[in-house]
Each structure stands twice: as C-alpha cells, then as structure tokens.
Amino acid sequence: MISAPSGQTALMPVGAWPTDAYSGESKEVFANGEAIQLLHQPAAHTNGDSIAFFRRSDVIATGDLLDLTRYPMIDEKRGGTFSGVLAGLNRIIDIAVPENWQEGGTMIVPGHGRIADEADVVEYRNIVTIIRDRIEDMIAKKMTLAQIKAARPTLDYDGRYGATSGEWTTDMFVEAVYRDLSKGRR
C-alpha cells in the first residue's frame, strides 16, 4: 500500500502516487519497451484488484490477489469475495505458461511471499478448492459456522498457511468462505 493510516507517513509523497485509472475489464499500456496488460479481477481480495501481465518479460504481478504466506485474504468491506479470489487464481493460471515439466516459464510475483511459477499457483488454487469443497459439504449437512470451525477443514494446510493471530487468521478465512458459500442458501 502506498498510502498510510491517518497520522503516519506515507511510503511515497502524494505527488508520486499513481493517478491513471481504468474502467472496464482491462487496459493495455506500453512502458519501458514492453507491452503491459492490466486486467481487473472483480470481487477478489477487494473489488479493486488488478493483475499486471508484462508480456515481453513473461511476468505476472498479482498484488494481494495471491499471497503465498497465508490463506487468501478476503476484504469483504472493500468488495472482496472468496469466489472472486478463486476466479482470480484460475485467471492467473490461464495466463501463465509453464516451461519443462510444469516448472519455470511465466514468473508470478505475488503480493506476499516468494516468486512463483504456474505449478505453485496451481498447488495453492487446489488447496483453496479442497477447503472450499469441504466447507461446502459441511454447509450442505446443515453444520453451523461454529461446528465447521471446530471440524477444522483447513487442518492439512495450517502448518503452511494457517495463523491463530495477526491481521488474517485461519478462523477469519473459514468465516469468509462460509459467508460467501452460504449466500443464497439462507
């Protein structure tokens, strides 16, 4: 984030903040000898997520849509949804091209965590999908949110992505997935 909370110093002066917005699904720009596609990913981490695809360099910058240090953060107050995050992960996979034996190829720069390739994003997407399927099954069995959290549908992956404290915990992730999947069932 370029700005800062009230009373704190921003990372960059206001005059250096980006001011060029785009409406619609995408925008194409040419900078530093390279074509760049900016792709809006609606209702993902927030409703303002963009994926930047640097075509010549074969690099995708995902912003906070992809965070390889924890479960996907869903900022519901700013329009984020679990379904949108999953759609965004699938879009990244659609754009990326692997090299030999699914390793290498398009480099993917997440908002947090190490640089990845398509195989890393596929693995992360599969984990998130498995957790979604588990929670969806529990909802179909009429389990309450408290019962679902007690069943620990993320247990297999908590060692790598889980957190019990901080700004985004495993419980918060499960709650966000539950709310998104429960829409229309009530």
Q: pLDDT confidence of 4, banded at 50, 70, 90?
A: low
- Residue 15 DSSP code: G
Q: What pLDDT sits at residue 24?
A: 78
CATH architecture of 14-179: 4-Layer Sandwich (3.60)
Q: Mean pLDDT over residues 35-44, rounded?
A: 94
E strands, the chain, where? 26-31, 34-41, 49-54, 59-67, 107-112
Domain ranges within the chain, ordered by starting residue: 14-179
Q: What pLDDT sits at residue 109?
A: 97
**pLDDT tens-digit readout, 75-102:** 999 999 999 999 999 999 999 999 887 7
**Residue of 137, 162, 164 lying closest to 148 (CA atoms):** 137
Largest CA distance in the chain: 55
What is the C-alpha to C-alpha distance for residues 183 and 52, in angstroms, rounded to an integer?
Answer: 30
